[in-house]
Chain A
Amino acid sequence: MTAGLLAAEWTKIRSVRSTLWTLLVFVVVAIGFSALVATVISNTWNNPGNHPNHVTLVTDPTAVLFGAGFGLGQLAMCVLGVIVISSEYSTGAIRSSLLAVPRRIPMLTAKALIFALLDFVVSAVTVFAVFFISTAILRSHISITLSTTGVTRACIGGILYLTVLGLFSLAIGGLIRHTAGAIATVIALVLVVPPLISLIPGTIANHIHGYLPTIAGTLVAQTSEQSGDVLSPWQGFGVFCLWTVVLLGACGYLLMRRDA
């Protein structure tokens, strides 16, 4: 892979409007919902019903700060990850790409690297923006800073989770190649499957639930380990990375085998 390939993938990703729109939705939803939740908690602080939130803000503050905003906002990053590759197929641009770069693995690698970099930078800015805005809103009630135990790791973990989530989505986009089908699959894996699995009683189901990609992946964005966790934060992140690497490998293999 060469600098030219990376430059080409950067040109591709920056020259379509969908990139800007999905990233804008990601930032606005993440910051907007987080700020909204923080404001509501702050305004109803003395309401007795708010007690559970107070407890969580002490034991796992980032779960409250990030939960609402990124729970929804992450879907925009999933969508971008999928369309970065699936739109090449739906529009036929993949033919131009592969005529220029017939060796397909370098193209996929360059694409994944450039998208991961963009995802990482945008996520970093957004995670810290959410953190500082939300903590500022709650300042009069509770002090949460980057030096609070586990908070810095949780912030960095959140950024890494969002970056790997993008690559996870890109892999599924490359495997399925149809935008709508791939987005539906990613959203099912992120939002639908985990609560369904958790409905099954028993420890085996509990372990399966713990190893699901986004359940394992989000552990690293928690400030501290919770009682029901099957994995430690970094173990969980490792499991999520493994899922993603396997899917990217399958994506690369099929990219080589399939006709464009």
Chain B
Amino acid sequence: MAEPPGLIEARELTKRFGDKVAVDHLSFNVEPGRVTGFLGPNGAGKSTTMRLITSLDRPDSGTATIGGLGYSQLTKPLTVVGALLEARSVHPGRSARNHLLFLAQTQELPAKRVDEVLDLVGLKEVANKRAGGFSLGMTQRLGIAAAMLGDPPVLLLDEPVNGLDPEGIRWVRNFMRQLASEGRTIFVSSHLMSEMAVTADHLIVIGRGALIAQSSTEEFIERSSERSVLVKSPDATRLRELITAEGGTVQADTAPAGNGEDKNGDAGMIVTGLPAPRIGELAASASLVLHELTPRLPSLEEAFMELTADSVEFGKIEPGKTAPTTAESGTAESGTAGTPTAGTS
């Protein structure tokens, strides 16, 4: 196979649990050398997808391969894929060292590799303590040690910062960035947009088990929501008329801080359809004073909410009329932007 060893490919992955479709004909590629964020609301099927990639769950249809091979075809899987899954996966009565030791033995790795990874994640002092007594942060580090045991080119991390303190979060972030810079494939899931905004280079967004978007993080933010400009002026009424005459759309600023008038007595306006320089020129030509003129890029959070609004599990949606609308609009949108999505690559 001419596949790069670190390429993850999902093709039409589908998994049902009874009547519920957890993963719905999901196709995507995860490329080496960057952090790919796997984004979706809780219950979107992120964990199930990761379990399908690692053969813990059997797909009802479709395939997932790593470097062209299915996970269960790998003879020493931990030397190819390191996985940190969200659910508990350590016997609480077993010491950290013994947990890693048995994993190392299955891969025919030397026992000294256990000490190396314990050192790497900073668990050397508690190596012989029972894992059941570990804090959440320590448990997460043990999971990362297990994932790093075989020095794999591919890492799957399911919500790695969930429940961690700020120091732990920073540690995981830096660790992921470092691993990606070493050319590894980092596939990390999260339901936190803010987290992905700072860690991911690329995003795969799913909702209700189906692909919503697949693009670079920047592209995702830019494309998903219209750019807008925050304008504040003591002559708001006149300015509003000018902007509307130019074809711009004006809305009152409803952000908490801009409720009504600020301390200068200015009412904030959100202008869409006109770039900030043009608004400035309009104001200048009419000799209107501007107190603020701020181009606003939608946050990843907003972009995400917009895209997944209809696909949030338990959201206000008629049963039977599910994700397709969102999925289609997402696909169409990314299609026009020239980004390959499901099936087109």
Contact = CB atoms under 8 A, between A and B. Distances in A.
B89 A92 contact: yes
Contacts of A189: none
A92 B146 CA distance: 14
Contact of A15 (B72, B83, B98, B107): B98
B126 to A, nearest CB: 15
B95 interface: yes
A12 to B, nearest CB: 5
B103 A100 contact: yes
B56 A15 contact: no
A8 interface: yes
Interface in B89-116: 89-95, 98-99, 101-103, 105-108
Q: How large is the interface on B (under 10, 10 to 19, 20 to 34, 35 or more residues)?
A: 20 to 34
A91 B89 CA distance: 7
Interface in B220-249: none
Contact of A88 (B71, B91, B99): B91
A92 B106 contact: no
Nearest to A91: B91
Interface string B54-96: 1111100000000000011010011000010101111111110
A260 B52 CA distance: 11
B51 interface: yes
B108 A2 contact: yes
A96 B99 contact: yes
Contact of B55 (A7, A9, A92, A102): A102
B95 A15 contact: yes
Contacts of B74: 102
A7 B105 CA distance: 6
Interface in B108-165: 108, 146
A9 B102 CA distance: 7
A99 interface: yes
A22 to B, nearest CB: 13
A2 B106 CA distance: 8
B57 A260 contact: yes
A87 B95 CA distance: 15
B56 A98 contact: yes
Nearest to A259: B57
Nearest to A110: B106
Given A11-B105, A18-B93, A102 B72 contact: yes
A93 B89 contact: yes
Given A11-B105, A15-B98, 4 more contacts: A91-B91, A98-B56, A102-B77, A103-B72
23 contacts: A5-B105, A8-B103, A11-B98, A12-B102, A15-B94, A15-B99, A15-B101, A15-B102, A16-B94, A18-B93, A92-B89, A93-B99, A94-B89, A96-B103, A97-B106, A99-B85, A100-B78, A100-B102, A100-B107, A101-B77, A101-B106, A257-B58, A260-B56
